Structure 1
Amino acid sequence: MTYPGAVHRDSGGEVRNQSLTADRLDFLFATRLLPCPYLPQKDERKIVVALADDRAGRDYERLIRAGYRRSGAIAYRPACPACRACVPVRLPIAGFNPSKSLRRVANANLDLDVRILPPTARAEHYDLFRRYQDGRHTGGEMADMDFAEYRTLVEESPVTTHVAEFRGSGARLMAACLFDEMDESLSAVYTFFDPSEAKRSLGSYMILWLAAQGREAGKSDLYLGYWIEKCAKMAYKTRFRPLEMLDRGEWRRML
């Protein structure tokens, strides 16, 4: 995907593309360099596109195939200088056959009750989100997110978005998953869970659940965001095979 036009730097230091027409994408810019939240001694920069409400679904599916992700009302992809570690990955749903270890994960969570809810920020979900951040991602880019910012994450979506909640015995909230639904695919936007329940592998279980939902709905792919080889927190994505990666504009088998 190409976005023609001259690029200039405004007074705030951002890079903007000025020639996007109304029938393409409304707004395109590159963020300032910031410390990478995944790899030490690296800087990150993102290309950001605003999703217009009247055609957000159409644009988003096109963008996600090109390696973008969504956060709120924008889509973004890494454009870091001298680094290509972030690899967009997706799971072709029709070809997915869970391994023995993943089947054990599924069996370990058969007791959970799952509900699909509208994308509304709830205090109980935010409390779980905070415990997850404190237990698993201390110092990460979302570690200090307050409730207002969490509400933006959940509710500010111009596309079809759902929240799935997973409850255990006594209706205890164990995990939650924010995901997008497009015409041909699903996208896991963000998942979080009770860090005291590590034995359940709830992160992997939610991916299994999403794949099952996608299969039932006739979707072709489940987008899993970015994978970084040297980031241990992303290693779980390689459990899901066949896994495809976006390589020089083409999706190809990775594992």
Structure 2
Amino acid sequence: MTRHPTDHPQFYLTAPAPCPYLEGKQERKVFTHLVGHGAPALNEVLTQGGFRRSQNIAYRPACENCQSCISIRVRAHDFKWTKSLKRVWKDGANIVGARLPASPSAEQYDLFRDYLLTRHEDGGMTEMSILDYAMMVEDTHVETLVLEYRRRGPDSFITGIGDGSLLGVALSDQLSDGLSMVYSFYDPAFKDTPLGTYMILDHIVRAQKMRLPYVYLGYWVDGSQKMAYKSRFKPQEHLGPNGWVVPVE
């Protein structure tokens, strides 16, 4: 029997490029394609091995003389609610996250553009067209979901869907052992509660209800202020030479 070529993934190494997190550093990545019937299983194994997904590509850092990027995941069932995180969750009680298929919309793209131009105007993603955005959302061969966050409406307790303008979007993968947050963005003008923090908390609560042990948050970069917020969600495990371990405080 002839086996599908994706049963034997090929890995590639990118050329050096300026690191977006640590000034003066160069980054390289090892990557492979997530396509075909074997993509979901491969995505599971690679995510558990520290890879991240972008469209149909799985990648992880492969930098010379630098191991600052550390894969982290939150232990959902043991999650510790600090006073500040409880306050964020309480302030977001009027927000509803609706789970939808991985399908893009013009409203999502408009919010995506506003977010990038306000928070990441120097990043490469600001050049993405609506077609590029659509590919980011729907070009997936794994179990991917979109969560749309809006204000709670009069029928939300029945429909599970919020009302009014779009406040935030999270693109996430569902794995057998957790939820992997691929990319999220939100209304930068919304001041009622920190939406970025709220969406992570919402994923942790969803994982608890789904009896999934982990929420994968991607990379925490030691020394990068951009990634400092991820350290708030504990307990978490870091992937190192001996596998996933709880870091020593």
Residue aligning to 1:91 = 74
> For 1:9-158, what aligned pairs fall within 5 Å after superposition?
22=5, 24-158=7-141
| Rounded Cα–Cα distance in structure 2 between residues aligned with 1:150 and 1:39 | 26
1:79-105 Cα offsets, whole Å, 9 max, x none, are: 012221111000011111221111100
The alignment partner of 1:178 has SS state of strand
Q: What are structure 1's unaligned runs of at least 5 residues? A: 1-20
| Rounded Cα–Cα distance in structure 2 between residues aligned with 1:81 and 1:250 | 21
| Rounded Cα–Cα distance in structure 1 between residues aligned with 2:110 and 2:230 | 26
| Rounded Cα–Cα distance in structure 2 between residues aligned with 1:238 and 1:23 | 35
**How high is the sequence identity, in percent, across the aligned residues?**
38
The alignment partner of 1:186 has SS state of strand
- The structural deviation recorded for 1:57 is 1.4
The alignment partner of 1:98 has SS state of coil
The alignment partner of 1:207 has SS state of helix
The alignment partner of 2:215 has SS state of strand
Asked if 1:223 corresponds to 2:216, the answer is yes
Amino acid paired to 1:138:
E
- The structural deviation recorded for 1:22 is 5.0
On the 8 A contact 1:25/1:50 being kept in 2, the answer is: no
1:189-238 Cα offsets, whole Å, 9 max, x none, are: 01101111255111110011001111111111110000012221211111
Question: Structure 1 residues 166 and 111, CA, compared in 2 at 3 Å: closer, same or farther?
Answer: same
Residue aligning to 1:14 = none
Question: Structure 1 residues 34 and 150, CA, compared in 2 at 3 Å: closer, same or farther?
Answer: same
On the 8 A contact 2:6/2:38 being kept in 1, the answer is: no
| Rounded Cα–Cα distance in structure 2 between residues aligned with 1:38 and 1:168 | 33
The alignment partner of 2:124 has SS state of coil
The alignment partner of 1:54 has SS state of coil
Question: Structure 1 residues 245 and 141, CA, compared in 2 at 3 Å: closer, same or farther?
Answer: farther
On the 8 A contact 1:93/1:220 being kept in 2, the answer is: yes
Residue aligning to 2:190 = 197
TM-score, normalised by the number of residues in structure 1: 0.87
1:65-119 Cα offsets, whole Å, 9 max, x none, are: 1100001111100001222111100001111122111110011111112211111
The alignment partner of 1:195 has SS state of coil
| Rounded Cα–Cα distance in structure 1 between residues aligned with 2:20 and 2:100 | 30
* Higher RCO (C-alpha 8 Å, min separation 6): 2
- The structural deviation recorded for 1:177 is 0.5
- The structural deviation recorded for 1:251 is 0.7
On the 8 A contact 1:26/1:52 being kept in 2, the answer is: no
On the 8 A contact 1:165/1:173 being kept in 2, the answer is: yes
Q: 1:239 aligns with which of 228, 232, 246?
A: 232
Amino acid paired to 1:52:
V
| Rounded Cα–Cα distance in structure 2 between residues aligned with 1:124 and 1:186 | 24
Aligned length: 235
Question: Structure 1 residues 249 and 46, CA, compared in 2 at 3 Å: closer, same or farther?
Answer: farther
Q: What are structure 2's unaligned runs of at least 5 residues? A: 153-162
On the 8 A contact 1:85/1:228 being kept in 2, the answer is: yes
Q: 1:210 aligns with which of 198, 203, 226?
A: 203
The alignment partner of 1:197 has SS state of coil
The alignment partner of 1:128 has SS state of helix
